[in-house]
Chain A
Amino acid sequence: MNENDPQISQDITNLITVGNAFSEHAKMSMRNVNVFYADKQAIHDVSLDIGKNEVVAMIGPSGCGKSTFLRCMNRMNDTIDSCRIEGDFRLEEDDIYHPNQDVVALRARVGIVFQKPNPFPKSIYDNVAYGPKVHGLASSKTDLDEIVETSLVRAGLWNEVKDRLTAAGTGLSGGQQQRLCIARTIAVGPEVILMDEPCSALDPIATAKIEELIAELSQNFTIAIVTHSMQQAARVSQRTAYFHMGKLIEVNDTKKVFTNPEHELTEAYITGRFG
């Protein structure tokens, strides 16, 4: 990042998000979110809605807080001791950070796919069956088989693995592993899927497959995706949120963000002046 560029070295302490951060049919809504790692503030007063069946892309330079924000949406940051979260997170009407909120139930409704494919050291079948078993979603073996098959079909992996469901999930290629992780997430039947740079460890062909998959999945799920690739954001999302140094700078329709950004920081980023 070029700090000396007069256009972008402006004071952003009092910056207000431009564009349209809110949605009429919000599936998830976050208000006035501040996140701290020990004493360091990682997110400054961010408010954002994710509409139902919408794909929202979060972009921005490294360290801008987009992944942190995403991980707060299903309380994955609970596992980090030094992390402190303020603000209001809602999944429809439920308060995600309410003291009575059951994290297990929340994560069943808001699934997450990570940057690096992380299949369990189990068979392909067991990887997908893991979530349904944990949540007791299948009453019989037939049920479970069906859930596994449907999930793999929806993740576009069924035809490639149907003959070797008992093989180790870790033996698949990187792209297949990531689709396996998506199948694993779908199998629990979430309402929202969070994706944290799901393609950054994959080659272009595998990436293209995952992007296709995201488009299909958005018919049934609400998706928030963090990505480093602006092309990817442009291809898969309906709305794009641009983060900069822990602040949400701009949220707009993806097309508008990439063709006619409202904020100069957004413009600087998408035209490649920094990031």
Chain B
Amino acid sequence: MNTSMLLVIAIIMMAMAFFLGRKRAITVAGGNHGIRNLNSLPGYYGTLSALWCGIPSLLILALWVIFDDYIIIQIIIQELPTSSQALSESELGLLLNTVANIALNNSSTLVAEPFIIEAADRLNGLKSISQMALSVVILCVAMGLALFSWLRVNTQLKARVKVENVFKIVLLLCASIAVFTTAGIVFSVIFESIKFFQSVPFFDFVFGLQWSPQMAIRADQIGGSGAFGAVPLFAGTMLISVIAMIIAVPAGLMAAIYLSEYASPKVRTIVKPALEVLAGVPTVVYGFFAALTVAPYLRDTGSMFGLSVSSESALAAGLVMGVMIIPFISSLSDDVINAVPQSLRDGSLGLGATHSETIKQVIIPAALPGIVGGILLAVSRAIGETMIVVMAAGLAANLTANPLESVTTVTVQIVTLLVGDQEFNSPKTLSAFALGLMLFLITLALNSIALMVVKKYREQYE
């Protein structure tokens, strides 16, 4: 029996265990009228039986599938001639690959040394033994535990408590998926970054003013020396983000004020969804809008005034990114402004303040923590944004504060470093992970600050 077959059988057995357990509970209780004698409802006894039957066997199945390949390979290696065992890791891998291929194809057409053919036969033998053993173990465990739980059904058994505990653990596992994924990402990035920092000193990376990652991979290649100073990239990222925020914060905030305070319900029902459509535009579309429409327009306008504007300017990327972020800020701010209690508005109006005085002096200050939190979240979005800058900001790592020049950003460099064929031992490729780590730390810090700001003011005012 193969693994998927076993899985199906295990599930069928769980279903059977459920019905048997349930029926047994009803019988033990003395028929449908005796259900009140049971500690829990009959369904819980059924579920408990099913869990007993299913969980251990499924766990064994999973562990078996994970480890049997490894164990079998180890056995094969042990039985190889000593000359082969002495091979280097990669050569041994190649050899084992050949063995596996021959075993899979079952063909003697491949020319191979006899000891390899022998090993392939052995591999097939071990695999079928393992599969059979697995089937026997699973069936025994499932049936044995199902029987065990069936026998344990009695009126005193606290089936509900046990079932609920199991489900609590399941819920906990689901909740940990996100946490473990984050941790996994962080660790993978950290390990690759450590490799990178073994070839490039940490401080050269963080404080270096020169970024030119092209370097010779092999000795006979011609390439740059490879300079890994991240400052120009972060400066470019900051420049574009600042331009974006200069556009997005006032526009978004004022849009939110208009929508929540001044707009008639009719206008609101039209404008609000329209703004949200803006949030739904894919960033890649913004990207070519920036590259094909905004950037040439800026260049032409600039040349009219005698300014030399690069055709891939920070300004173009920043402007479009700002427009992209407007709905983000306006919808978050709209929510917090709407959350300001009506009693505060009444209080201010009742003192004879005008509507605009009320907005400026009561509503905005009261909503400020939420607004600041929203802005900081928008900033981390701007920093992490990739598509627009890939298409509109350029690749030249200029260290400049002039928005008319072409700059590059951290995300753009990560993309260019990892696109195409790469060698994963080169500092050039590994630098992408170091950049990713830095970016991650910066956005993490911004998000934490945002949360702290929001929390601090909330405690003070509510």
Contact = CB atoms under 8 A, between A and B. Distances in A.
Interface stretch (A36-44, A92-100, A108-116, A153-161): A108-116
Given A74-B350, A131-B352, A168 B341 contact: no
Q: How large is the interface on B (under 10, 10 to 19, 20 to 34, 35 or more residues)?
A: 20 to 34
B351 A118 contact: no
Given A168-B461, A170-B462, A120 B348 contact: yes
Interface string B345-361: 11111111110010001
B354 A104 contact: yes
A76 B350 contact: yes
B56 interface: no
A118 B366 contact: no
Contacts of B348: 120, 130
Contact of A114 (B346, B354, B357, B362): B346
B460 interface: yes
Given A76-B349, A107-B351, A134-B357, A118 B462 contact: no
Contact of B352 (A108, A114, A116, A120): A108
Interface string A114-130: 10101111100000001
A118 B341 contact: yes
A184 B349 CA distance: 12
Nearest to B358: A134
A134 B352 contact: yes
Contacts of A111: 350-352
A130 B366 CA distance: 14
Given A107-B352, A188-B351, A170 B461 contact: yes
Chain B, interface SS category = helix
A213 B343 CA distance: 23
Contacts of A121: 344, 365-366, 460-461
A135 interface: yes
B347 A134 contact: no
Contacts of A114: 343, 346-347, 350
B461 to A, nearest CB: 4
B352 A105 contact: yes
Given A170-B461, A170-B462, A120 B347 contact: yes
Q: Which of A105, A107, A119 has the most CB atoms of chain B within a 10 A radius of its CB?
A: A107
Interface string A175-212: 00000010011001000000000000000000000000
B346 A104 contact: no
Chain A, interface SS category = helix
Interface in A72-91: 74, 76, 79
A104 B461 contact: no
Given A107-B349, A188-B351, A116 B343 contact: yes
Contacts of A184: 347, 351
Interface residues of A, number: 29
A131 B348 CA distance: 8
A107 to B, nearest CB: 4
B461 A79 contact: no
A185 B347 CA distance: 9
Interface in B315-356: 341, 343-354
A47 to B, nearest CB: 24
A120 B362 contact: yes
Contacts of A108: 351-352
Interface string B371-412: 000000000000000000000000000000000000000000
Contact of A130 (B343, B361, B461): B361
Contacts of A105: 352
Nearest to B457: A121
Contacts of A76: 346, 349-350
Nearest to B365: A121
Contacts of B361: 130, 134
Contacts of B349: 76, 79, 107
Given A107-B351, A170-B461, A188-B351, A120 B346 contact: no
Nearest to B460: A168
A105 B353 CA distance: 9
A185 B353 CA distance: 12
Q: Which of A106, A118, A168, A181 has the most CB atoms of chain B within a 10 A radius of its CB?
A: A118
Interface in A5-56: none
A129 to B, nearest CB: 11
Contacts of B460: 121, 168, 170-171
A224 to B, nearest CB: 14
Given A112-B346, A116-B343, 5 more contacts: A114-B350, A121-B365, A130-B348, A131-B353, A134-B352
14 contacts: A74-B350, A76-B350, A79-B345, A104-B353, A107-B351, A114-B347, A118-B346, A121-B366, A122-B365, A130-B351, A130-B361, A131-B352, A171-B460, A188-B351
A-B pairs, top 9 by smallest CB distance, nearest first, are: A107-B352, A118-B343, A121-B461, A108-B352, A112-B350, A131-B351, A118-B347, A134-B353, A121-B366
